[in-house]
Chains A and B, each alone.
Chain A
């Protein structure tokens, strides 16, 4: 180790790898991964969320899964739960939509209204 900067660089990189273990003050993206969700393609949605977060170096959000959210015909479904607990439910997702949600909702804090359940049920 030649410099403190070098140590700090390792620290940043390592922090990213373990940031998943720190769930204080984080936005949570929860993907419905019951049989219905998986059949509708939830797995690729989930992977798209994870990859996009990693690609953009986003440390303040985690992806996790849950069971059936209860509206199978709208699967794949994901909920984005803000630090304040506010919940946005996105439906009929695919990998492309997931990436857009990361870019607009997580990064720019603007929910993608057209993918939300309210919009779909109109």
Chain B
């Protein structure tokens, strides 16, 4: 069936939660009512990236991108655009008066600086239809690998591309494949790490939701390259849409003979299964992940032996991240030279970041390595809301660190980020403005690792807990001389002594905030002040006498009767009684109460 118009509706988790399925249902109903259901096709697609402006839908052949669409807008879109061919300008993303509507979003900074390789099909194809993936050159790379290349040639091409792991550490992918390939064994495995435990990160989820076949194809290629006939995707059960689309995709790949026995009539066979994780951060660590797939409690084991030698069920195993895999098919089709022409000297290609926090355009962006943080924050991210100043960006999640304003011009790549004490990580990027307390942020991440520590090794189980207690004290105004030094000493011994990456990197957020914002720690410890005005225990609510009209409202609202005074004269807060709940400040009609 040929349709005259295609309506692509984002069905990533972000737009689904802002009701894109309701939009589709409403549109379907109206297409029928207008008798054009055989002319217009509605297609589910993956994430366009600009979640802030979701739900997003794109109508072809005009290529009109509509944003912030609500159910109430659907009638207008159907009547105007689909029935009469008139663009609904008010909903267009970007330049509403663009002569060619398909270009309306070209000048939107968010899109202009991106380069989509891993996300190439997200928002472009229907992830539940294998043929749309095939139309976009899907499975051609697998065909090329198994029918034209030797496993060694595949590995050589990947090595030459300079691709490094996107799961965090940035290990060269070709080298890892080589290690697994050179092991001799009756059985080998290929695994995909789709645990995505970094809080706030959703790159991998979006790839699985928007383009699951790219990961499946890449895993089959990896199986061919290292000599494995079985693969596992370890995905967290909290990603129900990703799980569902993966299941559909695996089933379709089997039906089309792209998984299973004798792929492309060669003697290469490959099967793929899902394993659902319960959502523990430590299960993203490679050895814990494999222990969990084996059906045991997800705890890490010592390395070496590395998974390439002794992995799943003791057999040589290759483990890569979702985004790493998503790059593989394009590299084989377009060539290593093309890929390595993008990026910096030691970091090739692109990286996907999930940008969140104090920034206009929260969402998913894919940028060439070497893009500066300034470009990400201001050009792509649209800057900081409410006219506030940029303070720092946290990358690498609970294992990473912060990049302060003086380093805004740093070109983002693996080595530059490591050098300043942060790391690329898996792609979470949290933007913080001047109202953020860096001690509080460090505490937030440490609370996360304390919660997520599996408890197997003492440095992580006990050490991180002691660090958190100290931070707690500091933010409560009970910091003591020497606390900062104690934090540093603990950090060093946890880093040296912990069994796995979780513990080894857990002190990073503290160390990195100490490196750039030591004065803030000192203000908390010595002066008992929180310069950003976040740590409640260090703040006092005070009534500005000049502004107070003596209306007595605050005194009546105060739950602990800490405010007293005479009507029509300035009131005062008794700091000993005050519990710092902030009710007075909220109730004051004259903005006469301040937090200092």
Contact B5–A20 (Cβ < 8 Å) = yes
Pick the residue among B63, B256, B257 that contacts A23 (CB under 8 A).
B63
Closest residue of chain A to B257 (Cβ to Cβ) is: A1
Q: Are B137 and A11 in contact (CB under 8 A)?
A: yes
- Mask: chain A, 40-70; 1 = CB below 8 Å from B; 0 = not: 0000001100110110000000111111000
Contact, CB under 8 Å: A14 / B63: no
B115 at interface, CB cutoff 8 A? no
Convert B392-433 into 0s and 1s, putting 1 for each residue whose CB lies closer than 8 angstroms to a CB of A. Answer: 000000000000000000000000000000000000000000
Judge if A21 is at the interface, Cβ distance under 8 Å. Answer: yes
The answer on a CB contact under 8 Å between A21 and B124 is: yes
Q: Is B147 an interface residue (CB 8 A)?
A: yes
Given known pairs A33-B85, A34-B84, A50-B2, the reply for A7 and B60 (CB within 8 Å) is no
Chain B: interface size category: 20 to 34
Residues in A whose Cβ lies below 8 Å from that of B60: 20-21, 23, 62
> Which residues of B lie under 8 Å from residue A63 when comparing CB positions?
4, 61
| Residues A11 and B135 in contact in the complex (CB < 8 Å), given A18-B6, A23-B63 | yes
A1–B135 contact, CB under 8 A? no
How far apart sit A23 and B124, CA to CA, in the bound complex (Å)? 13
When each residue 7-22 of chain A gets 1 if its CB lies under 8 Å from chain B and 0 otherwise, what string results?
Answer: 1101101111110110
B388 to A: closest C-beta gap in Å:
40
Q: In the complex, which of the residues B135, B147, B265 contacts A15, with contact meaning CB atoms closer than 8 Å?
A: B135
Contact residue among A1, A4, A33, A64 (Cβ-Cβ distance under 8 Å from B61): A64
Residues on the A chain within 8 Å of B5, using CB: 20, 64
A1-B256, A33-B83, A63-B61 in contact; A10/B143 too (CB < 8 A)? Answer: no
Q: How far is the CA of A113 from the CA of B138 in the complex (A)?
A: 43
Residue A65 contacts which of B84, B138, B256 (CB distance < 8 angstroms)?
B84
Q: A2-B264, A23-B60, A65-B84 are in contact. Are A14 and B2 (CB under 8 A)?
A: no
Would you call B2 and A64 a contact (CB within 8 A)?
no
Q: Which residues of B contact A3 (CB under 8 A)?
A: 264-265
CA separation between A20 and B85, bound complex, in Å? Answer: 15
Of A2, A20, A26, A65, the contact of B3 (CB 8 Å cutoff): A20
- Asked whether, in the complex, the Cβ of B63 is within 8 Å of the Cβ of A4, the reply is no
Residues of A within 8 A of B (CB): 1-4, 7-8, 10-11, 13-18, 20-21, 23, 26, 28, 30-34, 46-47, 50-51, 53-54, 62-67
Sort A-B residue pairs by CB-CB distance and give the 8 closest, nearest first. Answer: A65-B85, A14-B135, A1-B257, A62-B61, A14-B131, A54-B2, A66-B85, A67-B86
11 interchain pairs, CB-CB under 8 A: A1-B257, A11-B134, A11-B135, A14-B131, A16-B2, A20-B5, A46-B4, A51-B2, A53-B2, A65-B4, A66-B85
